[in-house]
Structure 1
Amino acid sequence: MRNIRRRRAIALFISLGVCMVALAVTLQFGWIILNWRRLVPLVLGIPFFALLIAGVILNTIFLVREVRRNEHHDSFLNAVTHELKTPVASIRLYLETLQRRNLPEAQRQEFYGIMLADSERLLATIEQVLKAGEVGQRAKKNQVRVEVDLLTLVKECIQITLQRYHLEPDRITLQPVDHQTLLAVSGDRQDLHSAILNVLDNAVKYSPEQVAVRVSISLENDAWILIRVTDDGIGVPAAHLKGIFKRFYRVPNMSLLKVKGTGLGLFLVRSIVRQHGGDARAESAGEGKGTTIILQLPRLLTPATESQTALLDRSESLTRVP
């Protein structure tokens, strides 16, 4: 019901803007017809008319954007409220049960495990919201960057995701790496850890029938490291492949799956990767055909690698000399 009202409001603003433009055009042409013999008013009137039309169009665009922004904020607040309220209610229920009843030790341990998982889910949501507020500010500051081995980091994130969703080890597989080169980048390990976890989390959540996630790491032109995370889930329509990386953006049909989220996961992923000099993109053959998220990061060239590259370039230049 609320979405219908918002759509009506957007339609109203667009219709009002079109009517105002049409009225302005009608008045301008009427003014030109009445004053066509007066050169000076005619010349002065045309720029003012152009400014009037531009102002009306910009005002309409601004109003429509504000309505959509408010809609995204409301969706975000509803999603965050659910993500915070659900684990808190679950933890409270189990605590009350433990307090009122004398349960066997095995069942008590089971309840402890469920409460621990709910607390981790609650902490993950809070960290995601806080990081979304920090990600814009961190871009302006000088970050302390260290060498990060992406292969080790990806393996660690896979293990965390398997434990978080209680999955069998073969549900998320890492493809064999076919080279012995150090796959390292210069950056913030915690931020990269958060980005990879968000991608894996999405791959699992949007695979409702059976989780089958494949992860691969490869080199591109010996200068870029590509991390591909592919799932066999619900897929993404082509029109939404770029939009899913926007703040608070959620594909409309995704709500039918009752998959809750804050709409910040992929926004954080792209922001973090871009802060590290790379980029993130999505590929999908369409609805029901799975999705691939690709993280592209600049490879860290160690002194040994740099010297090898220099020697290779020198040898190639010598072979070209006649």
Structure 2
Amino acid sequence: MSKNFKRSYKFAIKTSFYITVFITLLVSVFLYLHDLLQILPIIGFVISCYLFSFFIIQYRVEHFIYKRVKKIYDNVTLLDATTLRPNQITTDMATLTREVEKFAKDKKLEIETLKIRETYRKEFMGNVSHELKTPLFTVQGYILTLLDGAMKDKAVRKKYLQRASKGVERLIYIVKDLDMITKLETGDLHLHMENFNIVELIQNSFDLLEMKAAKKDITLTFDIDYQTPIWVYADKERIQQVITNLVVNSIKYGKKSGTTEISIENLIKNKVIIRVTDNGEGIEKANIPRLFERFYRVDKSGSRKEGGSGLGLSIVKHIIEAHNEKIYVESVFGVGSEFSFTLEKSKDIPQIKAGGKVE
């Protein structure tokens, strides 16, 4: 018999056979005692009895099982009763088994997802409170000192108010970054797409961050001399923010007298890839998957000596994904890191090939 042969059929066949044999023997004895026993009528009776028994038993068995399985579906509200049909029911309850297995897998996946989210939520709340309380306590400390009498000294008053102002600026910086990420995630921050020269934009970032890099004697440079513009189609202001955040990150964790290098290469016909490479501290492999999480810091001590909101890389990721592009990171601990992202080329505008040739 086929493996797909209904077990209820097997049950009906065997049961019908037993009933037919019993009734046939009983009728045969009765007919024999009354000298009415004939072969052909007996054969017809056997066939009729068997078929009648089979169909009645099969129908009753399926109806019996269906009613009880349907009751299970109705009681367990998470199972989808609309998927249940009478012709699906067999005595091995294959349909119910599949539904329960699917339900169990879905619930297991949901529980695992909720556990991950709960862990992330706890870490996120802890990080937010840690990031906010530092400038808040700083501002509070300076204000309380002024209220306790230091306000009478003009020099102290000015110095403390300036420091309190810096603490407020940091708070505003964190809140603005959080607001931007929220808008990017919900789609409320609309991109203003335009054609622009990515080489010029990178050079502007270099100029803005030149003094910051000079403090650590870090050189900001291109991999080659890009004499011809490379035109891309994106939100210029947001991509400027991406470049700035990546360069600032490379300066923060770069080694003294190091280098931050940016290259622009053709990826496919309508894409370029921008690489930001440094020879700084590098990132341990275990930390790479979580680099783009909000407030995630490789330095578990939570040192704030480098400043920043702790949201820079998260903002970078969200901006690139809002452009439907990809961002990548490669790093070797103690050697350096490379962050790269793709952008769409501008259409109908000459592009530069790697090495300086125009295509």
Structures share fold, TM-score greater than 0.5: yes
Q: Higher helix fraction: Structure 1 or Structure 2?
A: 1
Aligned counterpart, 1:78: 126
C-alpha contact (below 8 Å) 2:288/2:329 kept by paired residues: yes
Q: Is the 8 A contact 2:199 2:226 kept in 1?
A: no
1:66 and 2:114 aligned: yes
Separation in structure 1 between the aligned mates of residue 222 and residue 274 of structure 2, nearest angstrom: 11
Q: Which residue of 2 aligns with 1:226?
A: 273
Provide the rounded CA distance (Å) in 2 between the counterparts of 1:66 and 1:262: 27
Match of 1:131 in 2: 180
Say which structure, 1 or 2, has more relative contact order (CA 8 Å, 6+ apart).
1
Q: Which residue of 2 aligns with 1:294?
A: 340
Indicate conservation of the 8 Å contact 2:326/2:342, yes or no.
Answer: yes
**In 1, Cα distance between equivalents of 2:209 and 2:153:** 30
Query: Would you say the 8 A contact 2:250–2:260 is kept in 1?
Result: no
Inter-partner Cα distance in structure 1 for 2:197 and 2:164: 33
Match of 2:330 among 283, 291, 296: 283
Paired residues for 1:25-104 under 5 Å: 38=11, 44-97=92-145, 100=150
CA distance in 2, matches of 1:276, 1:269: 11
Q: Distance in 1 between matches of 2:131 and 2:334?
A: 26
CA distance in 1, matches of 2:11, 2:284: 56
Task: Tell me how far 1:267 sits from its aligned partner.
Answer: 3.3
DSSP-derived class of the 1:76 partner: helix
Task: Return closer, same or farther for 1:261/1:112 CA change in 2, 3 Å cut-off.
Answer: closer
Cα distance in 1, alignment partners of residues 176 and 328 from structure 2: 23
Identity rate of aligned residues, in percent? Answer: 19
C-alpha distance in 1, partners of 2:231/2:11? 73
| Structure 1 counterpart SS, 2:227 | coil
The residue number in structure 2 matching 1:217 is 263
The answer for the alignment partner of 1:255 in structure 2 is 300
Separation in structure 1 between the aligned mates of residue 153 and residue 203 of structure 2, nearest angstrom: 38
| DSSP 3-state at the match of 1:255 | coil
1:73 and 1:248 in contact (8 A); partners too = no
Q: 1:146 to 1:218 in 2, by over 3 A?
A: same
Whole-angstrom distance in 1 between the partners of 2:107 and 2:176: 37
Structure 1 CA distance for aligned equivalents of residues 277 and 154 of structure 2: 42
- The yes-or-no answer on 1:180 pairing with 2:227 is yes
Runs of 5+ consecutive residues of structure 1 not aligned to the other structure: 1-33, 307-311, 314-322
Instruction: Decide which of 237, 240, 245 is 1:198's aligned counterpart.
Output: 245
**Superposed displacement of residue 272, structure 1:** 1.4
Q: Secondary structure at the match of 1:185?
A: strand
1:129 is displaced (CA, Å) by: 0.6
Alpha-carbon displacement from aligned partner over 1:173-196 (angstroms, at most 9, x marks no partner): 123642222133232233223322
| Gapped regions of structure 2 (runs ≥ 5) | 1-6, 13-61, 63-88, 352-357
Q: What is the CA-CA distance between 1:233 and the residue it aligns to?
A: 4.2
Change (3 A) 1:176 1:292: closer
Does the residue aligned with 2:291 lie in a helix, a strand or coil? Answer: helix
Q: TM-score, normalised by structure 2?
A: 0.59
Retained in 2: the 8 A contact 1:214–1:231?
yes
Q: 1:167 to 1:89 in 2, by over 3 A?
A: farther
Q: Contact conserved, 1:151 with 1:217, CA < 8 A, in 2?
A: no
